[in-house]
Chains A and B, each alone.
Chain A
């Protein structure tokens, strides 16, 4: 089965699409059959990054059943081994993907025959984004070292955490849990999933062991993008430490990507940054990241809750 790497992060500019396209290119260059899927529903632009300005089919065609098989929505790109499912001409209401369509999408992704599948996700914490992110145990968080971006990525992590806990409860059970959390810890405590877990431990011990085991099998990854010279290089490991200590989530820090003016140039010229500026620090960082991540692919798709 393919290695699936969903990429999630904060609002525009944190580098989700850039990272997706760069990793895709590096993997393809190494001879791996790689598929990029643009699931930034309603704000898709990955096709621009991989030089497919006028995609003739897109993800929407699959959702609207115009193309019944997901495999047929795959487009070739100018780069050998690299393929794309574009979101370019998605219908305007695609952002509100209904539940059953989402499940269908996840199941179809699981059937695709590629070595690597990289999923570019949108910002925010919509259920769709969270569920696509949880399609793999190896989701990648990306953030820049700015408070706005970090705030968003923490929010995303918490949302994913809560979403995962939610899978272990039926709707009614979850309502009782919600009530109990409020009893134990006060009204506004429900926003912190770590509080919920501590209540689960007390009230549903058997579920707690299940959840704990589940979380231990996750190996999320964190990448810090646009690190300028004056930024704290230790920040990535420190973030992972906080997450581990206070949320109990395993997030491995993969590396920093240096800030580089040339990324802007490359995107504007719509050429591959890695080909156009192969000897910059940012390009080196990207290659290093790709090497590290390919060495530890980890476990795969979760469809157990579907």
Chain B
């Protein structure tokens, strides 16, 4: 009643916003075709053959204009000149890509203090006890726990950063040898644990850990 169909602009015709993306335009055209096609039940008997033909031709023109970036820009400029369109509204909205890895993951809770690697490194170089432990030939879970406690890092923080299961971390620290995973995995865990605490050289220390574990068995 406001306007005849022929007077609608292409965006109104397809029921989309002026900043619709190509995907939305395509979906809208598809939906419109479903409604206006000659064999569509929805518009059966609503239009005469001639009217339907006209509408379909208009829709096609609207779609082919909007889907083509260059033509769309020309058309937008026409609309802006007529004062129908606000320049700020045009153009597909810039959408940043959705991170496929992060979106489902729990955000770090603020209660967990963030560990800064520079602080940790400074602490390690100053702490006698830690350098003493590191220089040992035999390294056990209890030693790792001591290092962690000296540095004042919570076990949950390590769990969050390394994604190692919390119960594994506890078993490692408490030296529950029967529960520990196979050495290949264990070595990786220890390495990650040490790297998280910025203890160097992580690779070597983890080798010593595994060696002393095998030694015991």
Contacts and interface: CB of A to CB of B under 8 A. Distances in A.
Interface of A: 145-147, 150-151, 154-155, 194, 197-198, 212, 215, 232, 234-235, 238-239, 241-242, 245-249
A166 B72 CA distance: 42
B15 to A, nearest CB: 8
A232 B41 contact: yes
A-B residue pairs, 3 tightest by C-beta:
A248-B1, A151-B45, A238-B42
B38 to A, nearest CB: 12
Nearest to A242: B43
Contacts, number: 43
SS class, residues of chain B in contact with chain A:
loop
A215 B4 CA distance: 16
Q: Secondary structure of the A side of the interface?
A: helix
Chain B interface residue number, banded: 10 to 19
A242 B44 contact: no
Contact of A154 (B4, B31, B34, B45): B45
Interface string B1-36: 110110000000001000000000000000100110
Contact of B5 (A212, A238, A245): A245
B45 A150 contact: yes
A145 B41 contact: yes
A239 B42 contact: yes
Nearest to A216: B1
B63 to A, nearest CB: 17
B46 interface: yes
A147 B41 contact: yes
A197 B45 contact: no
Given A147-B41, A150-B41, A242 B35 contact: yes
B44 A147 contact: yes
Nearest to A152: B45
B89 to A, nearest CB: 21
Contact of B34 (A151, A212, A238): A238
29 contacts: A145-B41, A147-B41, A150-B41, A150-B42, A151-B45, A154-B45, A154-B46, A155-B45, A194-B1, A194-B4, A198-B4, A212-B1, A215-B1, A232-B41, A232-B42, A235-B41, A238-B31, A238-B35, A239-B42, A241-B15, A242-B35, A242-B46, A245-B5, A246-B5, A246-B46, A247-B1, A248-B1, A248-B2, A249-B1
